A and B are shown apart, each in its own frame.
Chain A
Amino acid sequence: MNADGHGGQGPGGKALGKLLTKNRYGAGPIDPNGKLRFAGVGYLNTQPILHGLLQGLGASRLLLELGRPSEVARRLFEDEADAALVPAAAIAMHGGLEIAPGIAVGARGPVRSVVLLSERPVEELDTLLLDSSSRTSVVLARLVAAHLRKGRALTVYSRTPAQILAETRGGTGAVLIGDDALAARGRFACELDLAEAWQAWTGLPFVFAVWGARRGVLDESVRALLSASLEAGLAARTEIGVSWAEAHGGLAAEHERYLRENLHYELDEAALAGLREFFARAAEAKLLPPCEVRLAGTDATTPAAGRHDSRGHDSRSLDALLDFAAEGGRLSFDEALRLAEDAPTLDLGLAADARRRALHPEGVVTYIVDRNVNYTNACTVACRFCAFYRPIGHGDVYVLSREELRAKIQEVVDAGGVQVLLQGGINPDLRLTWYEELFVWWKSEFPNVALHALSPEEIWGLARLETECGEPTTIDEVLRRLMAAGMDSLPGGGAEVLTDRVRRKIAKAKCTSAEWLECMRVAHRLGLHTTATMMYGTTDTAVDRLAHLFKVRDLQDETGGFTAFICWDYQHDQGVKQVAGDTGTVLYLRMQALARLVLDNVRNIQSSWVTQGPGVGQLALRYGANDLGSTMFEENVVSSAGTTFTMDAQQIERHARAAGFTVARRNMRYQWLTTPS
C-alpha cells in the first residue's frame, strides 16, 4: 500500500502494522492479528511456490489461504487479500499491482495441462469451445489460434468441461485445462499444447501465474520469505508428487515429472519478456487491459516523485486515462477505481457520452412499453432494505389471481405494450408447476406479451424448493422447464452489489454473488437474454461497486448474454432497517458513467429515471445511458420505498427529444419496434 509514496520501510513490524490498519478504502476485512493476508491457487502446479509457506514458513507474519483461481483473484480485487498468487490475466485485469521478482509458474515448451483439442487442425476449425474458468488460458488460446489462422475469425463459446467433451467434433475445437486436459489426452486427432505453441510463435516462455500485490506489500522481508518458500518447494518436488497423489490420485512419478519437466518456476529475463509479450499481444487484441509489468523492490518501481499519485495509483495522468476510456480502451480495475475516486463528474460524463455515441452513433434513445407485475409479496428472504415483502402468514400477503393478472396484462396490451416484467418474493407455496402452468396460460391468452420473468433469486429459490420437496432440481432444469413453458428472458434484478460482504449484510438469505452470476451464466448458455442491475448505496464502498461492474464484464466476456446494465441507488424508506450509505445524484451520474466506460462489452445502459426522477433520468442520457427503461404502470418494490415517479410514453419521448435524441420503442432484445423520430 504505502499510499504516501515513501517506500523501503524494511521489515519492521511497525511499518507492517500501519500497512494493515490503513486498508485502502476503509472497508474489507482486515486480519485482526495484523498479519498479511495471502491467497494462492491451490493446484498441483503452484505447490512448489507455496510449499515453504504451507510448511509454516512465515506463519507469524502472514496467513495463507488457498482457493480456485477465480476465488483467489476475487480476494485480491475485493481487498480481502493483500497479496495473491494469481493467473497472469488477473494481474492485467486488476492493474497497478507489483509482482514478486524471480517467482512464476511458467513453461518453456509443452506444459501438457493447457491444450487445444480437435479432430481437425486449428486452421480448419470454425468454432472453439472454452473452459472459461481460467482466463489466462482462454486469452492464450485465442491469441495462438488467431496467429495460426492468420487472423481468420473463429466463433468462441464458453462451456463447462463436460459440455466441451460432448460437443467437440468436426469443425468445433476445444480448450481444456488442468486435470480435464490431462484426462482428455489421446482422445482427439489434433492436440495443440498451447504453451509450446506460444514458445514456437514468440520464442519466449509462457508465464501462467505470479505473486501480485498492491504497492508496498511485497517488501524486502516478504520477498525473501516467498523466495525461501519456492526454494524449499523446488527441493521437495518428489515429496510434493507423492503427497499430491495421495490426496488427489494419479501417479506420484507422473506429478513429479510434470513439476520438473513441464513447469519452470523462475521469473528470469526470458520469462519476464514472455509475460510482457503476452500482456502486449492480449491488449492489442483487446482481450486484456494494457498492463505494464512492475516488479516489487526494483528501481523501476520505486515510488519516485511523480510516478504515483497520493493513493499509489499509476503514473498515467488522469486526462490520459479519461481519453483512453473515452476511446474505448479496456480499463483495469485499478484504473476504474482511480476514475471513480478522482475524475471530475463532468469529465466522466464527457467520456461516457463519447462511448455512448460510438456504440449508438445514430443518436436514438430507446424505451419499452411494459409494466412490472409483482405476482406475490410473500417472501422468506427478508432483505434488510426491502419494504415490499411480507413474511409468510402475514395478513397482507397476496398472490395475484389469474383474473387480476389478466386485467393487468390487458392494460399493457391496451397501452401498446409488448412485455411484462414479472417478479415476486420467494414464496414457498408456489412450486415450479405453478409457474409452468401460469406461463402456459399466459402464452395461450397473450401470445404477444413477452415474459421477462423471474430474477436469479427466484430461480435459485425454485431449485431449492423443488429439492426440499423431494424432487432434486438444478437451476439449469428450472430454467429449461420455464423456457419450455413460455419464459422469454430473465430480468437482472436482485443483484444489489455483487460482493458477498455487502450481500451478507443487507440480504443475508439471498443467493451469493457467485450464485447470482452462475444463474446468469446458465441462462445465457441456454440462449436466454438477461439484463444486469446494481443497487448500491447501502454498505458498499467504491471497491464493491467496481468489483460488481468487473464481475458483470467478465461474465459478459464469457457469454455475451447481457443486453443492458441498469444501476440505481438505494431508496430508503421509513420503517426499513437498512440505512442509506453512498447515495445521491452526483454519485448516481458518476456510477452510470463509470458503468458505460467499464462495461465495454454491454451494449446498452439504461437510465433509472424511476428512482432518480425524470430530470436526472434525462441527464443520465448524457452520462452514458442510451435507454430510458420503461413506462411504469406500477413498480411495487421501489414504490413501497416512497419513490413514486411516473412518466407515460409521451413524457418519456419528450424528455429524450429535449436532450437531443430521436426516440424508438424497443423490445427486450433492444430491437427497434418503431422508426426513430
Chain B
Amino acid sequence: MTTPRFAEIAAKVRAGERLSEDDGIALYLEPDLLAVGQLANEVRERLHGDRTYFNVNLRYEATNVCEASCRFCAFAKLEKGQPGAQTATHEAAWKELAEFPDERLSELHMVNGLDPNLAFEWYEELLRGWKKLRPSIHLKCFTAVEIHYFAQKFAMSHEQVLQRLMAAGLDTMPGGGAEIFHPEVRERISRDKADGDEYLAVHRAAHRLGMKTNCTMLYGHIETHAHRIDHLMRLRALQDETQGFQCFIPLAFHNMHNAMEQLPESTAVDDLRTISVSRLMLDNIPHVKAYWVSMTVETAQIGLRFGADDLDGTIVHETIYHSAGSTVPMGLTRHDLLRLIREAGRVPVERDSLYGVVEEYPRASAPEGSMKVKDRNAKKHLELAR
C-alpha cells in the first residue's frame, strides 16, 4: 500500500530517469519500507543480477593518535602516550601482512588518526615495505581527511600528496571521513578536519590521477533526512564529473565511548532504508555496500535484497566500530560470507579491489532462505558474539 508519490518515483526509476532531492526525501518518508526496498532491489538486479561481491581483506590501523576531535569517534586518542594510544612500528605493521593466514588476501585497508608525530616519509616507507613483502597486494589506504591533513601539514597540494603515496604503492583510497557534508551538521560533529568541499576535492584530485575511490556517509546521529539527501547529491555530482567512485558505503553511527553517547543509534529499518535510498539516488555509482560491521551481519544480509550488492570483506581486525560498541564478530571467514550470500539467494563473487572477479561461486542449490537437508553439511553455525 504505497503512496501516490511513491508510484511517481517508481515510474521514474523504471524509466531510467534521475531522482531529485525531493524524491530522495519522499523515499525516506514513504511508509511502505518493503516497497522502497523492492524498488532498490530492481535497480540492483538491473545492474548486477544476483551477483554479490565480497573480498578478502586485512583491516589495519597504524595509529589511533589523532589531532582532531570528532564527536562520534571512539577510536582516536588525543595524544601519544595517553592510555590506549597506539602507534604501530613499521615492523609490526609489516608482520601483520606477512602473517595473514589467507593465501587469497587481495587487499590491505588502512585508515588512521591524524597523528602529528609521524613524518610523511614514515607512511611512504610503510607502504613500500608492504609492497615489497607482497607485490600483488592492493593498498587501499588513507581517507580524504588524512590526505588533506598531510597536504596542510607537509605543505603540499592534494595532488602532490597523492602522487607521492602512489609512487610508494598506494592503489586506491577508501571512502571514510565523509561523515555528513552539510556544514550545519559537520561543524557540530567534526569541525577540526577536512570539510565537505575539501573531502570532495581530495577525491576529485585522486580521480583525475586515475585512482578509483570509495565514498561513505555517517548517518543516524544529529542529521536530518534532508542532510542525508544533500550528501548523496554532492557525491552524485562529483561522480558525474569524474566517474571515479566505485562503491558507496552507508555507515551507521554507534554511540558508545564517544561524545554523543546520549544519542540513540539507528535501527535496522533505517539501515535498510538508507541502503535502498542510496541505491536509488546514486544512479551513477556502480556498487552499494552493506557493511556488516556497521549494521550487524543479520541486517547486512537482508540488505542484499534492499539494494546492496557487496558484503565487504573478511575483516580480521576491526577496531573503529568495535571501539564504539559494535557487538558483531571481529571477523567473518570466507565460508561465513558464502553462506550468508547464498542464504539470501544470491551468487557469491569474490572480487579484487577494482571489482575484478577472483572467483564466481555457484549459487545455492536451494532457493532463498530455504536451506535443504543436503545443504546442511556445508553449513557451519555462525558463532556470533551477540
Q: Which residue numbers of A lie inside 8 Å of B, CB to CB?
A: 25-27, 340-342, 344-346, 349-350, 353-354, 357, 541-542, 572, 579-587, 589-590, 612-616, 618-619, 622, 643-645, 654-655, 658-660
**CB atoms of B370 and A618 under 8 A apart:** no
How far apart are the CA atoms of A654 and B255 in the complex, in Å? 15
**CB atoms of A616 and B373 under 8 A apart:** no
Is B372 an interface position by the 8 A CB rule? yes
**CB atoms of A616 and B386 under 8 A apart:** no
Question: In the complex, what residues of A have CB within 8 A of residue B376's CB?
Answer: 581-582
Task: Tell me what chain A mostly uses at the interface: helix, strand, loop, or mixed.
Answer: helix
Query: Given the interface contacts A586-B368, A587-B371, does A612 sit within 8 Å of B298 by beta carbon?
Result: yes
**Smallest Cβ-Cβ distance to B299: which chain A residue:** A615
**CB atoms of A345 and B298 under 8 A apart:** no
**CB atoms of A346 and B296 under 8 A apart:** no
**CB atoms of B370 and A341 under 8 A apart:** yes
How far apart are the CA atoms of A655 and B264 in the complex, in Å? 10
Residue of A583, A616, A645 touching B268 (CB-CB under 8 A):
A616
**CB atoms of A345 and B299 under 8 A apart:** no
Tell me the residues in window 22-58 of chain B with beta carbons closer than 8 Å to chain A beta carbons.
31-35, 37-38, 41
**CB atoms of B269 and A658 under 8 A apart:** yes
Is B305 an interface position by the 8 A CB rule? yes
Tell me the residues in window 362-381 of chain B with beta carbons closer than 8 Å to chain A beta carbons.
367-374, 376, 379, 381
Residue of B267, B305, B370, B379 touching A655 (CB-CB under 8 A):
B267
Is B171 an interface position by the 8 A CB rule? no
**CB atoms of B33 and A586 under 8 A apart:** no
**CB atoms of B267 and A658 under 8 A apart:** yes
**CB atoms of B371 and A353 under 8 A apart:** no
How far apart are the CA atoms of A498 and B95 in the complex, in Å? 55
Is B343 an interface position by the 8 A CB rule? yes
The 0/1 profile, CB within 8 Å of A marked 1, for residues 268-280 of chain B is 1111100000000
Further contacts, 14 of them, CB under 8 A, given A345-B345, A615-B268: A27-B373, A341-B367, A344-B345, A350-B34, A350-B35, A350-B38, A354-B1, A572-B381, A580-B379, A615-B296, A615-B299, A616-B268, A619-B272, A643-B386
Question: In the complex, what residues of A have CB within 8 A of residue B272's CB?
Answer: 619
Question: In the complex, what residues of A have CB within 8 A of residue B34's CB?
Answer: 346, 349-350, 353, 622
B328 to chain A, nearest CB (A): 10
Is B302 an interface position by the 8 A CB rule? yes
**CB atoms of A659 and B33 under 8 A apart:** yes
How many chain B residues touch A (CB < 8 A): the figure is 39
How far apart are the CA atoms of A117 and B134 in the complex, in Å? 89
Question: In the complex, what residues of B have CB within 8 A of residue A344's CB?
Answer: 305, 345, 368
How far apart are the CA atoms of A349 and B35 in the complex, in Å? 10
Question: In the complex, what residues of B have CB within 8 A of residue A644's CB?
Answer: 386
B176 to chain A, nearest CB (A): 23
Question: In the complex, what residues of A have CB within 8 A of residue B37's CB?
Answer: 346
Is B127 an interface position by the 8 A CB rule? no
Question: In the complex, what residues of A have CB within 8 A of residue B266's CB?
Answer: 658
Tell me the residues in window 219-268 of chain B with beta carbons closer than 8 Å to chain A beta carbons.
264, 266-268
How far apart are the CA atoms of A575 and B116 in the complex, in Å? 50
Question: In the complex, what residues of A have CB within 8 A of residue B267's CB?
Answer: 614-615, 618, 654-655, 658-659
Q: What are 24 A-B contacts with C-beta separation under 8 Å?
A: A25-B372, A25-B373, A340-B370, A344-B305, A346-B305, A350-B38, A353-B32, A582-B372, A583-B371, A585-B302, A586-B344, A586-B368, A589-B302, A590-B369, A614-B268, A615-B268, A615-B271, A615-B295, A615-B298, A616-B298, A618-B268, A619-B268, A658-B270, A660-B269
B34 to chain A, nearest CB (A): 5
The 4 closest A-B pairs by CB, nearest first: A615-B268, A586-B369, A585-B298, A658-B267
How far apart are the CA atoms of A613 and B374 in the complex, in Å? 28
**CB atoms of A619 and B369 under 8 A apart:** no
**CB atoms of A586 and B38 under 8 A apart:** no
B193 to chain A, nearest CB (A): 30
**Smallest Cβ-Cβ distance to B33: which chain A residue:** A622
**CB atoms of A345 and B368 under 8 A apart:** yes
How far apart are the CA atoms of A474 and B373 in the complex, in Å? 39
Q: Which residue numbers of B lie inside 8 Å of A, CB to CB?
A: 1, 31-35, 37-38, 41, 264, 266-272, 295-296, 298-299, 301-302, 305, 343-345, 367-374, 376, 379, 381, 386
Residue of A346, A614, A616, A645 touching B38 (CB-CB under 8 A):
A346
B31 to chain A, nearest CB (A): 5
Question: In the complex, what residues of B have CB within 8 A of residue A585's CB?
Answer: 298, 301-302, 343
B314 to chain A, nearest CB (A): 18
Most chain A CB inside 10 Å of its own CB: which residue of B37, B272, B301, B369: B369
Residue of A27, A349, A579, A587 touching B370 (CB-CB under 8 A):
A587
B85 to chain A, nearest CB (A): 32
Question: In the complex, what residues of B have CB within 8 A of residue A615's CB?
Answer: 267-268, 271, 295-296, 298-299
B29 to chain A, nearest CB (A): 10
Residue of B296, B305, B345, B369 touching A613 (CB-CB under 8 A):
B296
**CB atoms of A580 and B381 under 8 A apart:** yes
Question: In the complex, what residues of A have CB within 8 A of residue B345's CB?
Answer: 344-345, 586
Query: Given the interface contacts A579-B381, A618-B267, does A345 sit within 8 Å of B374 by beta carbon?
Result: no
Question: In the complex, what residues of B have CB within 8 A of residue A645's CB?
Answer: 386
Question: In the complex, what residues of B have CB within 8 A of residue A541's CB?
Answer: 372-373
B24 to chain A, nearest CB (A): 18
Question: In the complex, what residues of A have CB within 8 A of residue B370's CB?
Answer: 340-341, 542, 582, 587, 590
**CB atoms of A654 and B264 under 8 A apart:** yes
**Smallest Cβ-Cβ distance to A587: which chain B residue:** B369
**Smallest Cβ-Cβ distance to B376: which chain A residue:** A581
A374 to chain B, nearest CB (A): 21
**Smallest Cβ-Cβ distance to A656: which chain B residue:** B267
Question: In the complex, what residues of A have CB within 8 A of residue B374's CB?
Answer: 26
Question: In the complex, what residues of A have CB within 8 A of residue B295's CB?
Answer: 615
Query: Given the interface contacts A654-B267, A658-B267, does A345 sit within 8 Å of B371 by beta carbon?
Result: no
Question: In the complex, what residues of B have CB within 8 A of residue A622's CB?
Answer: 33-34, 269
A578 to chain B, nearest CB (A): 11
How far apart are the CA atoms of A349 and B38 in the complex, in Å? 11
A549 to chain B, nearest CB (A): 15
Question: In the complex, what residues of B have CB within 8 A of residue A654's CB?
Answer: 264, 267
Question: In the complex, what residues of B have CB within 8 A of residue A619's CB?
Answer: 268-269, 272, 299, 302
How far apart are the CA atoms of A350 and B35 in the complex, in Å? 8
Query: Given the interface contacts A345-B345, A616-B298, A654-B264, does A582 sit within 8 Å of B371 by beta carbon?
Result: yes
How far apart are the CA atoms of A256 and B266 in the complex, in Å? 74
Question: In the complex, what residues of B have CB within 8 A of residue A658's CB?
Answer: 266-267, 269-270
B33 to chain A, nearest CB (A): 5
Question: In the complex, what residues of A have CB within 8 A of residue B269's CB?
Answer: 618-619, 622, 658-660
